[in-house]
Structure 1
Amino acid sequence: MDFFQLAKSRFSVRKYKTTPVEDDKLLKVLEAGQVAPSAVNFQPWHFIVVTETETLEKIHQTYQRDWIKKAPVIIVAGADHSQSWKRSSDGKDSADIDIAIAVDHMTLMATELGLGTCWVCNFSVKKCSEVLKLPSHIEPCVLIPLGYPDIENAPKKRKSLSEFVHLNTFGNAFN
């Protein structure tokens, strides 16, 4: 599959089959995150793979939507703020950007392997940190439910390039 086909076929899956995810596929998804670029190559991430029923149930309590309970795996992507690059001019921490790039790589690999994912960022960070026993410098940023989709992709309408691409300065249309 070429890149555009892959990118267009990825969608947010909120309905999963009960089929377990094979270890070799899970490993490939994690390796996709491993090879993602990061600021100054600091790689300030940790991925906690949750497969154990008891821990999954506790993670479900951090995001109380029924659909997430069907995913056989949840990967929690955490940013290590003690390891992330900070911009010298204003102290901007790049951890969120680095995590986003890694998670995007992982979701695309999952799609390539026939798996489905969904970015979940609206969850209780405090509860998640407690469940996973995260140290204070690790921030859980994204829950990534992972499994075989039990739904077909319905492509969403996308903005046209002219709505968000500018040439040289803001407001100059890029045609």
Structure 2
Amino acid sequence: MSFLDLVKQRYSCRSYQEKSVEQEKLDYVMECVRFAPSAVNKQPWMFRVVKNDAEKENLRECYSRDWFNTAPMYIICSILHDEEWVRKDGKHHGDIDIAIAVEHLCLAATEQGLATCWVCNFDAEKCKQLFTFAENEEPAVLIPIGYAADEAKEKKRKDMDQICK
């Protein structure tokens, strides 16, 4: 499959099968994440795989949507702020670095026949209360991951001349 075909295949899944994700596929996805680039190669991130029922229920308190509850597992993607690179003008790159790594995660999952969805609109403070995070660690993105029970909808994208000069 070409990279363009992979990118077109990836979508925000909002319904998952009850089927568990095989450990080999999860390991592959996380190995792809491990090789994601970051500013000055700081790799200012931490990824927590949430599989057990008690932790899944806790995480579901942080984002209360019926579709989110259908995922068989989740990955909490966090920024380690004391490890992120800061440009001379004060621009922190942790958000950029975590975004690159998370998209590696989503594309690798798609390649493995899995589905994902970026969830950024969650209660990060509640997440910090329910899970143990380092003082410098900020949960930034939740990724439900599993086998899709829905189908991708047509992607609406701007025309090339609207995004490229």
CA distance in 1, matches of 2:6, 2:92: 30
CA distance in 2, matches of 1:152, 1:64: 22
Moved more, 47-56 or 127-136: 127-136
Q: Is the radius of gyration larger for structure 1 or structure 2?
A: 1
Quote how far apart the aligned CAs of 1:91 are. Answer: 1.0
Quote how far apart the aligned CAs of 1:164 are. Answer: 1.7
Unaligned runs of 5+ in 1: 167-175
Runs of 4+ deviating beyond 3 Å: none
Q: How does 1:128-143 map to 2 (within 5 A)?
A: 128-143=127-142
Q: Deviations 1:132-159 (Å, cap 9, x if unpaired)?
A: 2112210001000000001122221210
Residue equivalent to 1:173: none
Residue equivalent to 2:71: 71
Q: Deviations 1:45-87 (Å, cap 9, x if unpaired)?
A: 0000000101100100000101111111100000000000000
Q: Secondary structure at the match of 1:48?
A: strand
CA distance in 1, matches of 2:154, 2:5: 12
Q: Percent identity?
A: 47
Q: Secondary structure at the match of 1:66?
A: coil
Q: Secondary structure at the match of 2:95?
A: helix
Query: How many correspondences in the alignment?
Result: 165
CA distance in 1, matches of 2:78, 2:157: 29
CA distance in 2, matches of 1:41, 1:73: 28
Note if 1:115 corresponds to 2:120: no
TM-score, with length taken from structure 2: 0.98
CA distance in 2, matches of 1:138, 1:16: 29
CA distance in 2, matches of 1:31, 1:130: 28
Q: How does 1:3-152 map to 2 (within 5 A)?
A: 3-88=3-88, 90-152=89-151
CA distance in 2, matches of 1:67, 1:136: 31
Q: Secondary structure at the match of 1:4?
A: helix
CA distance in 1, matches of 2:118, 2:77: 10
CA distance in 2, matches of 1:157, 1:50: 32
Q: Deviations 1:21-63 (Å, cap 9, x if unpaired)?
A: 0000011111111100000000000000000101100100000
